[in-house]
């Protein structure tokens, strides 16, 4: 049995999983939620190396990937999920060397990150919510669905605080807060950003209360009287369309509430160590995603700037791509576009990728077959533990590719 295993099934990165292996398969992942159990599965992954769909040696596959990438006029390096920060660091180095565009899974929460770049943010690591918050506001999200253990691990107060804590569900159209919340506030999706604005005006002591915002304004007053409010919102997009100004409005509200009281804005992030991809790209280039090395030093053209993988692919700018990570984690639009160009994939289940890669090298899954470092949704770094023998390590393969690229270039 391997204890204290970190799960990358969602951004909670619960690190209390105990994995039991029997006959080369994961028999049990105790403490894991349904998402986590599905993420660990039985731990059996393919160990293929394929070039043009046919079995090949590692050397040939890497040679072919080098050929593909060095022959490209406009390569893309895409960092997908389920790889460690150590692998992500090598992936960015490869992008730098290739003068490639580099984007990552972290871009799925671009809205929240861009809002933070405009205003900063008042936030906290998740343990602070548990230890300090006497008012927790779930803004249009029930963590039970996509972050099953979030409430149990991070939002359930110990001791007396638990008795006095108020939990509020803000229901924005169909995006509803937790069912068992002590208080509910309903907001029409079309009113959401205006309602947040009315709340912030209230915090600033200005009256902007149209009748339809009365309940939101009451909530703002409650937040002003709390000691420590935690606003929990989902950084990932859901089925509902979200007003592009919502993220910035919430950031601004969270900051403003630190006048009359204390407040933290917690942005929920999905799994696969995407927060690690954000951190690594930021420390190596100064930018969190949508980075372009084509001109040499990194340039940043996010959002409408056309520098995201999604935009570059949609504009048919990219003529070859290297995907590092599990292809199954790639967001729909990016995956569909990748299917139309030659791609090399290095990562878990690469050989089963829907993008029909020219080169596919299966590796282990970070946190199941491979160790390393991953980041929780709140940027807390955690060690990964291997609980099961797997195929070749992603780090070895990516380093071999980088080495070949560098020396091939000499």
- Stated as kind and residue range, the H or E segment containing 235 is none
Cα distances (angstroms) measured from residue 398 to each of 38, 39, 139, 326 = 26, 23, 40, 14
Q: How many CA atoms lie within 13 A of 68 on its CB side?
A: 26
Q: How far is the CB of 290 from other proteins (least distance, A)?
A: 9
Binder among 25, 221, 227, 340 for other proteins (CB under 8 A):
227
x/- binding map, residues 372-401, to other proteins, per CB under 8 A?
-x-x---xxxxxxx----------------
Q: How many residues make contact with other proteins (CB under 8 A)?
A: 106
d(CA 367, CA 393): 11
d(CA 279, CA 114): 14
Structure tokens at 292: 């372009």
Helix (H, G, I), strand (E, B) or coil at 182: coil
Q: Tokens 């999200």 label which residue?
A: 141
Q: Does 406 bind other proteins (CB under 8 A)?
A: yes
Q: Does 101 bind other proteins (CB under 8 A)?
A: yes
Q: Does 259 bind other proteins (CB under 8 A)?
A: yes
Binder among 184, 222, 356, 402 for other proteins (CB under 8 A):
402
Q: How far is the CB of 405 from other proteins (least distance, A)?
A: 9
Contact range with other proteins by CB under 8 A, out of 55-63, 137-145, 177-185, 298-306: 298-306
Binder among 24, 41, 53, 127 for other proteins (CB under 8 A):
127
Cβ proximity to other proteins, 49 vs 136, nearer residue = 136
d(CA 304, CA 5): 39
Q: Does 125 bind other proteins (CB under 8 A)?
A: yes
Q: CB–CB of 384/6 below 8 Å? A: yes
Q: Does 214 bind other proteins (CB under 8 A)?
A: no
Contact range with other proteins by CB under 8 A, out of 168-176, 243-251, 322-330, 388-396: 243-251
Q: CB–CB of 397/346 below 8 Å? A: yes
Q: CB–CB of 278/236 below 8 Å? A: no
Q: Does 191 bind other proteins (CB under 8 A)?
A: yes
Cβ proximity to other proteins, 37 vs 294, nearer residue = 294
């Amino acid at each position: 049995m391997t204890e204290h295993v970190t799960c990358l099934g969602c951004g909670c990165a619960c690190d209390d999983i105990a994995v039991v292996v029997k006959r080369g398969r994961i028999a049990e992942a105790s403490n894991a939620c349904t998402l986590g159990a599905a993420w660990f599965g039985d731990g059996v992954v393919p160990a293929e190396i394929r070039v043009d769909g046919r079995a090949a040696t590692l050397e040939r596959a890497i040679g072919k990937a080098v050929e593909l990438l060095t022959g490209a006029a406009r390569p893309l390096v895409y960092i997908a999920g389920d790889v460690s920060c150590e692998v992500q660091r090598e992936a960015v180095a490869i992008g730098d060397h290739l003068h490639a565009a580099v984007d990552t899974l972290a871009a799925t929460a671009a809205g929240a990150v861009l809002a933070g770049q405009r205003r900063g943010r008042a936030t906290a690591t998740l343990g602070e919510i548990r230890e300090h918050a006497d008012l927790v506001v779930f803004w249009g999200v029930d963590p039970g669905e996509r972050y099953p253990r979030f409430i149990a691990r991070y939002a359930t107060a110990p001791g007396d605080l638990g008795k006095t804590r108020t939990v509020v569900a803000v229901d924005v159209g169909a995006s509803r807060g937790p069912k068992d919340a002590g208080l509910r506030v309903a907001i029409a999706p079309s009113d959401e950003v205006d309602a947040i604005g009315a709340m912030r005006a209230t915090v600033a002591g200005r009256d902007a209360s149209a009748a339809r915002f009365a309940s939101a304004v009451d909530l703002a007053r409650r937040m002003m009287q709390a000691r420590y409010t935690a606003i929990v919102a989902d950084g990932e997009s859901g089925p509902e369309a979200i007003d592009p100004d919502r993220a910035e409005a919430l950031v601004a509200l969270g900051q403003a509430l630190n006048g009359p009281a204390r407040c933290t804005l917690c942005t929920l992030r999905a799994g696969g160590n995407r927060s690690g991809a954000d951190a690594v790209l930021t420390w190596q280039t100064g930018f969190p995603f949508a980075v372009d090395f084509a001109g040499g030093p990194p340039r940043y053209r996010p959002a409408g700037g056309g520098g995201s993988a999604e935009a570059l692919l949609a504009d048919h700018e990219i003529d070859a791509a290297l995907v590092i990570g599990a292809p199954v984690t790639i967001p729909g639009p990016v995956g569909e576009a990748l299917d139309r160009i030659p791609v090399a994939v290095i990562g878990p289940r690469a050989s089963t990728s829907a993008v029909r890669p020219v080169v596919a090298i299966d590796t282990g899954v970070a946190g199941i077959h491979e160790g390393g470092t991953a980041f929780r949704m709140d940027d807390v770094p955690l060690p990964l533990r291997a609980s099961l023998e797997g195929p070749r390590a992603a780090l070895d393969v990516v380093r071999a590719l980088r080495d070949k690229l560098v020396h091939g270039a000499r």
